Amino acid sequence: MTTETMTGVAISLETACDFASCAPFAFPLHKQLSKGYETCSVLPVPSSVDSWREEHRTARKRADRAERFGYHFAEIAREDFDEHIYAINTSLGERQGRPMSGGYRERNHYLTLPEYECPRHAIRTYGVLDVRGTLAAYLWLYRVGDLALVSSILGHGDHLAKDVMYLLFQGAVEKQASLGGYFVYNRADSGTDGLRYFKTKLGFEPMEVAWEL
């Protein structure tokens, strides 16, 4: 389990989980995070979405605003939204002051994710849809033991001003609340001032992280 330290947190990826598929899922990510991810943007997974909304007034108001525009959160199957995801990825030529990388400018055909045996070792795919059922934003989250890693998170340029990203993260909080642990959203020094503001309003703070097996 995760234990707090004087300088931050130690996050266990729980490679000794009961299911045979968990260790092969966790080990590659542990290797990746152990180099260069010593200080990250971290948010303890709230005990409930209501407690998160109570503590983060700006995020709550913006998520509610998106809902008033007719958007709703859903857990999605990526393979059903190939063209929608491509439209999101190519809706802006630059993100965070940098051109979009080539991978985002290519059409991808997503395969169906496996039926994961363990709820604590799984890829979860979330989205926000508009009233027509068009995907406006997506989040790929890797749940690996006590880690809830924000792997990919992107919104369509035409919808960002309507606060769809706040509704997207609120939905992720609601889905993950029962599992505890920590959300991690990249390195603490990553992104522009705008991204750091967004992370702060969601509740993320810079923390030193020790990655445990």
For the chain, domain boundaries: 3-212
pLDDT attached to residue 192: 87
pLDDT at 41 over 90: yes
Model confidence at 7, pLDDT cuts 50, 70, 90, reads low
Q: Are 138 and 104 in contact (CB under 8 A)?
A: no
Give the residue ranges of DSSP H helices in 47-81: 49-55, 57-68
State how far the Cα of 200 lies from the Cα of 193, in Å rounded to an integer: 10
H or E element at residue 113: none
Model confidence at 49, pLDDT cuts 50, 70, 90, reads very high
Chain-wide mean pLDDT for the chain? 94
* Chain centre to alpha carbon of residue 212: 20
State how far the Cα of 172 lies from the Cα of 24, in Å rounded to an integer: 24
Tens of pLDDT, residue by residue over 170-207, are 999 999 999 999 999 999 988 889 999 999 999 999 99
State how far the Cα of 158 lies from the Cα of 49, in Å rounded to an integer: 27
| Helix/strand/coil for 139 | strand
66 C-beta neighbours (distance < 10 Å), count: 24
The pTM of this model reads: 0.94
pLDDT at 1 over 70: no
pLDDT attached to residue 6: 38
pLDDT at 27 over 90: yes
pLDDT at 5 over 50: no
* Chain centre to alpha carbon of residue 184: 8
pLDDT attached to residue 104: 78
State how far the Cα of 1 lies from the Cα of 18, in Å rounded to an integer: 14
pLDDT at 4 over 70: no
State how far the Cα of 40 lies from the Cα of 122, in Å rounded to an integer: 21
CA atoms within 13 A on the CB side of 176: 35
Strand partners, 213: none
Strand partners, 206: 41
CATH of domain 3-212: 3.40.630.30
Tens of pLDDT, residue by residue over 116-157, are 999 999 999 999 999 999 999 999 999 999 999 999 999 999
Please indicate whether residue 187 or residue 96 has the higher confidence score (pLDDT). 187
